[in-house]
Chains A and B, each alone.
Chain A
């Protein structure tokens, strides 16, 4: 008879412990295994969320822990939702979102379409293109700050070389009209490979037989592209747009590293504005209401994302 590891573990278990485990139902044993994860989830995710919701109805300020905390009802929510500065911040976030999504989808899909064609060094190019996505946003922010330097920056030098302008005559980060584009360029550079990978998965899921049937029907390449490729990749593309949309709505680290929300508050996205309200102005209750509003928005978008994901899975 084989002496399996299970038998050895059973023999090694002290009789008292073995008796106790044998007395437990399958359901109880399952709960013992799941309990640590549930406890961690409650402690790290659910408790702070409930606490934030509770704080959002108070005038609590974390820099005045001994001051009396008053229940203010919906006052914080009304203040946030009637604040013109926060509205402007939302618009800055919207500009950032739209510009990055349009660029990432166009470039990502084009790259995926090219990579999907068989050519020499295909795998090597895929690896090179995917590299930026693997870097930390803090690192990316730091080295793009150097690339954007008017005096020594490679980006300014390249633009100067291509357009004939003086590289030190413009500053991508310091100029109010260029700074929003500076963060859009970096985010596009970093996250286009992600969109490309999702599009590539979509393109590779299209069976060749469909194209062969279209060839038999003498459909042109252009027609095949619009009636086969685009409709079949669209669910994947929607998935990429939703995912990048949610991520860019929460964008913080890259922008903090690059512009810190400046010049002025031209690149101050919602997350940076929220951090300022919470940890520079110390309006904890107000910032909590702001955070809950952002949370509900992201949660809503995530619900649509999960629905879209399930649709893609069903295909």
Chain B
């Protein structure tokens, strides 16, 4: 956990890629869940944020 926070603070690829992946996964789950239309409506913004973040952070140092 400490390594993860340290990685985020030092802009390391691994930690930030994990955050971006979590956002993408959350966006996909929001898109397909059967519980709330509001979650479905915001899913695209979450997935797009995660995807753009993934593209940016994949250029961070290891």
Interface residues of A (CB under 8 A from B): 77, 81-82, 84, 87, 90-91, 93-94, 97, 293, 296-297, 299-301, 303-304, 307
Cα–Cα, bound, A300→B55 (Å): 9
Interface residues of B (CB under 8 A from A): 17, 20-21, 24-25, 27-28, 31-34, 37, 40-44, 47-48, 50-51, 54-55, 58
List residues of chain B with CB within 8 A of the CB of A307: 17, 21
Tell whether, in the assembled complex, residue A296 and residue B25 are in contact, meaning their CB atoms are under 8 Å apart: no
- Point out the residue from A90, A93, A297 that lies within 8 Å of B40, measured CB to CB: A90
Tell whether, in the assembled complex, residue B41 and residue A81 are in contact, meaning their CB atoms are under 8 Å apart: yes
Q: How far is the CB of B15 from chain A (nearest CB, A)?
A: 13
List residues of chain B with CB within 8 A of the CB of A301: 24, 28
Considering residues A81, A94, A296, A300, which has the most beta carbons from chain B within 10 angstroms of its beta carbon?
Answer: A300
List residues of chain A with CB within 8 A of the CB of B51: 296, 299-300, 303
- Point out the residue from B28, B41, B50 that lies within 8 Å of A82, measured CB to CB: B41
Tell whether, in the assembled complex, residue A300 and residue B32 are in contact, meaning their CB atoms are under 8 Å apart: no
Q: Which residue of B lies closest to A307 (CB)?
A: B17
Cα–Cα, bound, A97→B58 (Å): 28
Tell whether, in the assembled complex, residue B34 and residue A303 are in contact, meaning their CB atoms are under 8 Å apart: no
Supplied contacts A81-B40, A91-B32, A300-B27, 11 more A-B pairs, CB within 8 Å: A81-B44, A82-B37, A82-B41, A94-B32, A94-B34, A296-B44, A300-B47, A300-B54, A303-B21, A304-B24, A304-B25
Tell whether, in the assembled complex, residue A91 and residue B25 are in contact, meaning their CB atoms are under 8 Å apart: no
List residues of chain B with CB within 8 A of the CB of A97: 32
Can you name 29 A-B residue pairings with CB atoms under 8 Å? A77-B44, A81-B40, A81-B41, A81-B43, A82-B41, A87-B37, A87-B40, A90-B31, A90-B40, A91-B33, A91-B34, A93-B32, A94-B32, A94-B34, A293-B44, A296-B47, A296-B48, A296-B51, A297-B27, A297-B44, A297-B47, A299-B51, A300-B24, A300-B28, A300-B54, A301-B24, A303-B24, A303-B51, A304-B25
- Point out the residue from A82, A87, A90, A303 that lies within 8 Å of B54, measured CB to CB: A303
Cα–Cα, bound, A94→B40 (Å): 13
Chain A interface, DSSP helix/strand/loop, else mixed = helix
Tell whether, in the assembled complex, residue B41 and residue A300 are in contact, meaning their CB atoms are under 8 Å apart: no
Tell whether, in the assembled complex, residue A297 and residue B28 are in contact, meaning their CB atoms are under 8 Å apart: yes
- Point out the residue from B31, B34, B37, B55 that lies within 8 Å of A297, measured CB to CB: B31
Cα–Cα, bound, A299→B52 (Å): 10
Q: How far is the CB of A139 from chain B (nearest CB, A)?
A: 29
List residues of chain B with CB within 8 A of the CB of A297: 27-28, 31, 44, 47
List residues of chain B with CB within 8 A of the CB of A84: 37
Q: How far is the CB of B16 from chain A (nearest CB, A)?
A: 12
Q: Which residue of A lies closest to B18 (CB)?
A: A307
Cα–Cα, bound, A297→B46 (Å): 10
Q: How far is the CB of A309 from chain B (nearest CB, A)?
A: 13
Tell whether, in the assembled complex, residue A90 and residue B32 are in contact, meaning their CB atoms are under 8 Å apart: yes
Cα–Cα, bound, A81→B27 (Å): 13
List residues of chain A with CB within 8 A of the CB of B48: 296
Cα–Cα, bound, A90→B35 (Å): 12
List residues of chain A with CB within 8 A of the CB of B41: 81-82
List residues of chain B with CB within 8 A of the CB of A82: 37, 41
List residues of chain A with CB within 8 A of the CB of B34: 91, 94
